Amino acid sequence: MINIGYPNLPFRIQKGKDKEMIFDENRKKWVRLTPEEWVRQNFIQYLVHVLQYPATLLAIEKEIRLGELKKRCDIIVYKAEKPWMIVECKEPGVELNDITARQIFAYNMVLKAEFLVLVNGKNTFCLHTTSQKMLKNLPDYH
């Protein structure tokens, strides 16, 4: 498991009629603030502000096709114009286990990324797909 020190950044949050909204800096739009979205936004900020991943090379909620099915990847990090890392975000109460891992493995059958990350805001796991080893830290982008 990887220990993540999330940065304390001021998110733009506003109240809608029955829901809270958060401004997604990457997508440049307001999105519904769900527990999963909270994890996604914090993890994006960690990648960009702490690890210095280029924000312009992150795709958020990118649609992919799994056979006839359309699915959305939470975060794809690109490097050399190819998917380099896939991040699957779950809300804090969701256990990261074989069931949640199957989802990201299915995405990787299409994308063929080097790194797969599962995060629920409390726990983070990163698999290096080439060596099939779990990492103790997220990889350096540069």
- The total of structural domains in the chain comes to 1
What is the model's pLDDT at position 18? 84
Q: Among residues of the chain, what percentage have pLDDT more than 90? A: 88
Q: What is the pLDDT of residues 64-93, one digit of tens each?
A: 998 899 999 999 999 999 999 999 999 999
Whether 30 contacts 19, CB under 8 Å: no
Task: Give the domain CATH number at 42.
Answer: 3.90.1570.30
* Spatial distance between the Cα atoms of 21 and 38, rounded to a whole number of angstroms: 10
pTM for this entry: 0.92
pLDDT at 16 > cutoff 80? no
In a domain, 126, yes or no: yes
Q: Which domain holds residue 127?
A: 13-134
